[in-house]
Amino acid sequence: MATDTQEQTEQNYMCDPDADGGFVYTTLEAAINWMHKYSLWPMPMGTSCCAIEYMAASCSRYDISRFGSEVNRYAPRQADFMFICGTITYKMAGLVRRIWDQMPEPKWCIACGACACSGGMFRSYSVLQGVDKIVPVDVYISGCPPRPEALLQGLITLQDRIMKTDHPLKGFFKTHDLREAQRAACTNTSVITD
């Protein structure tokens, strides 16, 4: 499991390394955020070639389990965040939205690759022009497809966002209407590039 840097540790916990019994003082929010951060169970929404990169990222060479995110949950009720890897057609969009609705709060979403972010090269009648039209996206990863390192960077970006959450329990009961999701997502997002 990855460990925080010294600087992050000092930011988030009041830790006295010289204390004999290993006491850690922190706030409830920081502890909850820390637990969210290191046990992110993904719901891999793999529809095309980005899913192959996700498979590479989760296998031993790139090893996404270093970041506590290796437990793929194909049952959305057990997942913490959705990794949308690939082209989402309008026919698939309703199903993606239904899976998103089945995931319990708190939940996050990473749009991986050009198609999921913006429709990519498919400017056509059949392809949803960005999944942020149906689900609120937290992190966009560019690339066609992105390399596994970019996926890991996206995951780290999401973890940093989670650590900055002020009230981690506040959003437990939030809901988004289908066509309102884009507006909700626009308020606070991170964009990373290769």
Rule CB under 8 A: choose which of 3, 17, 60, 123 binds other proteins.
123
Residue 17 CB, nearest approach to other proteins (Å) = 54
Candidates 83, 84, 133, 135: give the one binding other proteins (CB under 8 A).
Answer: 133
Q: By CB under 8 A, tell whether 11 contacts other proteins.
A: no
* Residue whose C-alpha is closest to residue 128's, from 178, 55, 74, 189: 178
**Which among 1, 160, 161, 147 has a CA at the least distance from the CA of 62?**
147
Q: Looking at beta carbons only, is 57 or 111 nearer to other proteins?
A: 111
Longest dimension (CA), the chain: 65
105: phi then psi, degrees, rounded to nearest 5 = -75, 150
The pairing of strands 139-141 and 108-112 is parallel
Contact status: 177 vs other proteins (CB under 8 A): no
**Shortest distance, position 101 Cβ to other proteins, whole Å:** 13
Contact positions vs other proteins (CB under 8 A): 90-91, 93-94, 119, 122-127, 129, 133
